[in-house]
Amino acid sequence: MNETMKIANSPMMWILSILIVANVIIQSIIFYRLAKKHVGNTNLLKREEVKKAFKIGAIGTIGPAFAVFAVAMALIAQIGGPITLARVGIIGSASFEMISAQIGSAGTAGTPEFMPNMLATAAWVMTLGGAGWLIVVFFATKHIDKLQETIKKTNPLTIAYMSVFAPFIIFFTLGYKEVINKGILKKQMDLAPMAALIVGAVTVVIINKIVEKNSSKKWLKEWSMGFAVISAMIVGSIIR
């Protein structure tokens, strides 16, 4: 395993991973500039609205980033820092990458049996496994935009309802799977997922109530997701 981790953390691996992440950063900058130009040409949003949207989007990534960081630390111990940086920097799902690494290495990642050929296989499985998301985005984004325009013409309120309920359904589904598969259905029931889900939901409700009573604390609402994720992680870790 020592030989494998030397390869995984070698300078060349760091160079390659940094190049991959740099490519993502460049793409993000290009996308931001195109979006900014489009807004300027169409007057779709006011400058204040653009700043607010950018601020909320940036803040909304902080909470989930803590969860990803926690899992990524364990992944670094299994396959090294460079591959973890490259994979999480592109896809952002450390838990998926950890599962892929274990499958690709036949369960040897992080163990003395973890050989260089297993590292290569794990990297391929992680790359091919995450490619599906990138392919779907590449081919489906344009068609989704056309579908959105069609729905707007048919019933403009549909998009508004979807933007409200879709995130709720997605997070509820993910949370439900965690509670059922990793908690209730285990032979020895683990209450940590259920407690984390409840605490996260209660945190958001409490923040909304505080903002309703005191409008000067609106900034709390922008950070609600971050507070919910962090509080859920703390409670889940304590109970586990």
Q: Report pLDDT digits (tens) over 25-75.
A: 898 888 888 888 878 787 777 778 778 777 777 777 776 777 777 778 888
Q: What is the pTM of this model?
A: 0.67
Please count the helices (runs of H) and the strands (runs of E) in the chain: 11, 0
pLDDT recorded at residue 12? 92
Asked if 171 and 117 sit in the same domain, the reply is no
Three-state SS string across 182-233, please? HHHCCCCCCCHHHHHHHHHHHHHHHHHHHHHHCHHHCHHHHCHHHHHHHHHH
Whether 145 maps to a domain, the answer reads no
Asked if 104 and 164 sit in the same domain, the reply is no
Asked if 110 and 174 sit in the same domain, the reply is no
pLDDT over 90 for what percent of the chain? 7
Asked if 78 and 186 sit in the same domain, the reply is no
CA distance 104 to 40: 47
> Is residue 191 very low, low, confident or very high in pLDDT (cuts 50, 70, 90)?
confident
Asked if 2 and 109 sit in the same domain, the reply is yes
Asked if 81 and 168 sit in the same domain, the reply is no
Structural domain containing residue 214: 155-240
Whether 94 maps to a domain, the answer reads yes
pLDDT recorded at residue 72? 82
